[in-house]
Chains A and B, each alone.
Chain A
Amino acid sequence: MQKITKNQLLDKAAELLDNGTVTAVLGWQKGEFDYDVTPALFENKEELFANFVWNDFCGANFSKYLIKHTRKVEGKILVFLKPCDTYSFNQLLTEHRFDREKVYAVGIPCEGMADIDKVKAIVGDGISSIDCGEKIKVTTIYADAAVEIDGKDVLEGRCESCKSKKHVAYDELLGEEGDVLDSNRFDEVARLEAMTPDERFAFWQNELSRCIRCNACRDVCPACTCEKCVFGNPKSGVENKSPANSFEEKMFHIIRAFHVAGRCTDCGECSRVCPQNIPLHLLNRKFIKDMNECYGEYQAGAEVGSRAPLVNYTTEDLEPGEVFDRRDTDA
Chain B
Amino acid sequence: MNEVSFHTFRADAALAIANPHLQSAVDGATLKFRRDRLRALADLPDVEAMRDHFKAMRAATLANLSEHLEQFERQALAAGAHVHWARDAAEATQIVIGIARQHGARLAVKAKSMTSEEIHLNAALDEAGITPVETDLGEWIVQLAAESPAHIVVPALHKTRQQVAELFTREVGRPLSADDIPALTNEARRALRKKFLAAEIGISGANIGVAETGSIVLVTNEGNGRMVSSVPPVHVAVMGVEKVCPTWDDAAVWLELLARSSTGQPLSVYTTAITGPARDGDADGPRELHIVLYDGGRSGMLGTGYEEVLQCIRCGACLNHCPVYQEIAGQTYGHAYSGPIGAVLVPLLHGLEQYEALPHASSLCGACLEVCPARIDLPRMLLDLRAEEVARGVIAPPEQALEKSAAWLLGHRRLFGLLTDVGRVFQRPLLSKDGLRVPRRLNPAGKRRLPSLAPRSFHALWDELAAEEEAVAGAAPVKRAVRAPSRGRIAAVIGASVVPLVVLWHLLRRRGGKR
Chains A and B come from one and the same complex: no
Q: What residues make up the interface of A, taking CB atoms closer than 8 Å to B?
A: none
